[in-house]
Structure formats: structure tokens, C-alpha cells
Amino acid sequence: MDSRRFGFKIAKVDFSDDANDPGEIVSFLKEKEFRLIITKTICEDIPLINRLEKLGFETMDFQVGYDYYVKKDTGSAIKFNSDFPVHAIDPADVEPLVILAGQAFDGFGHYFADKRLDRKLCLEIYKDWTRNVCTNKDFAEIVYAAYDEGRPIGYFAFTERLLNKVPIASGVMGAVASSYNGKGIFQSLLARGVEWAAAKGMVLKDMKVHTTNYPINTAFSKLGFRIGNSCITMHCWL
């Protein structure tokens, strides 16, 4: 999808397998006329990060993954803001949420951090991703939105996926309209996700947040979540 969008060949590669030599993979992709490699690796693997840097990879962002943790005798630590009801989205909500995403994600993430990528095309990634999670079960099982007088003002998509070959419930993506920041919208959406996971007999895990998104990191830490992992996103132009 990225290759079609930007008009040149882009590879997304997992270099964590010790059996594969990063230098050989980079050389192979260069021979195949790929222009950009995108990779994520855990922050603990400093030797791999250093090796990738020597091959020309540059850091684009850092993320942490939060896991939900609440003692059994305390119940859910997350409460709803009753002023803004939260429920599963309706088909009519899709395009308003795409517009919301275009505003919320402008300048955000590893695509925008790479100044060689077209900014308008970077923004289309988040808009298309939002449209996909709202309309395609392969991207998200459920999308909840918060509403103000029937108008969607924030959303959070959730799904079940594998992490280290173990099924987990996790978030896919979400955003809140900037004019509603600080009103507990994110908290309410997250609470609905916790309930959704609990109904499956699961808890939310690996909820990825950029380390520089300080308000959301603070919210997760206050709402019964703990950091379970961290990763770095790197780009290499060939």
C-alpha cells in the first residue's frame, strides 16, 4: 500500500531474526530497486539498532506498549464521562471520523518525521487507515466513538491479534478532536475497550503510544496501565 501511495518501492522488514543478516537483506532490496526500508525493533536490542545505524538507518520515532493491569479487588480503574456517550460507530460516522483523523494526525508519527516523504501523502495514510478500521474487519473488530449531540468527536478501534504467537486484545488506532481535549473523551473510549476485551476474557495489551505524546502517556499510567515494551521505528533510503 505504501509503495502504491508514494510511487516507489517501499519494504517493511523485521530484522529481529538472528538467522537473517541485515546487511545482506539491505543489499538484496537495493538490487531489487527498493528505495526505502521501514523497520521496527525493540529498544532493548541495542546491538541490532547500532548495526542498522551503520547501514544507514535513521530513527523516526519511539513508542511504548501499555498493558492493562488492575488488581482483582479494585475493579476497573476507568470511568466514563456521561456527558459524551460512547458506542459502536454507525456507517454514517465513517467520513466524519476520516476528517477528524486528518486533523488529529497531521504531523504525527514516523512518516511525517521523514522529511523526504510527501506530507500530503503521509496524511492520507492516517485517513485511509481510519476508513479501513471503520469498514473492514481485517483491520479492526470494533470501533467505538464518543458523541456530542450525535456528532462523533473521537474514536478508538480495537482488535484481537497475535503477539509473540499469543492472542491478545489491543488497540489499533484512535483520536479525539482537539477541541475536546481534556474532557475525558479518551478515558471513556479506553474504558469501552477494556470492557470489550473483558467480554472476550482478555485484557488490553501492547497499546502503542509515542513516547512524546505526553498527555496520552500520562492518561494510560493513571488508568490502570503499565508499560510492557518499547520499540523504535527506523527508515533507510537506498
Domains detected in the chain: 2-62 (no CATH), 65-229 (3.40.630.30)
pLDDT-derived band at 74 (thresholds 50, 70, 90) equals very low
Cα–Cα distance measured from residue 80 to residue 191, given in angstroms and rounded to the nearest whole number = 7
Region 118-132: mean pLDDT is 96
Contact 173, 157 (CB under 8 A): yes
pLDDT of 117 > 70? The answer is yes
β-strands 36-42, 10-12 pairing: parallel
**Bigger pLDDT: 70 vs 86:** 86
Q: Among 15, 23, 68, 76, which residue's Cα sits nearest to residue 40?
A: 15
Angle at which helices 94-104 and 119-135 pack, to 10 degrees? 150
**Residue 75 confidence (pLDDT):** 46
**Bigger pLDDT: 163 vs 110:** 110
**Residue 238 confidence (pLDDT):** 97
Cα–Cα distance measured from residue 148 to residue 130, given in angstroms and rounded to the nearest whole number = 20
Cα–Cα distance measured from residue 148 to residue 14, given in angstroms and rounded to the nearest whole number = 42
What residue type is assigned to position 91 of the chain? P
Angle at which helices 46-54 and 22-31 pack, to 10 degrees? 40
pLDDT of 34 > 60? The answer is yes
**Residue 73 confidence (pLDDT):** 42
Residue tagged 501499555 (cell numbers): 66
Region 181-207: mean pLDDT is 92
Cα–Cα distance measured from residue 45 to residue 18, given in angstroms and rounded to the nearest whole number = 11
The percent of residues above 90 in pLDDT, for the chain, comes to: 82
CA torsion, ordered 72, 73, 77, 81, to nearest 10 deg? 120
Contact 153, 177 (CB under 8 A): yes
Residue 139, judged by CB atoms within 10 A of its CB (0-12, 13-18, 19+), counts as middle
pLDDT of 71 > 60? The answer is no
Residue 187, judged by CB atoms within 10 A of its CB (0-12, 13-18, 19+), counts as middle
Cα–Cα distance measured from residue 210 to residue 92, given in angstroms and rounded to the nearest whole number = 30
DSSP state of 92: G
pLDDT of 42 > 70? The answer is yes
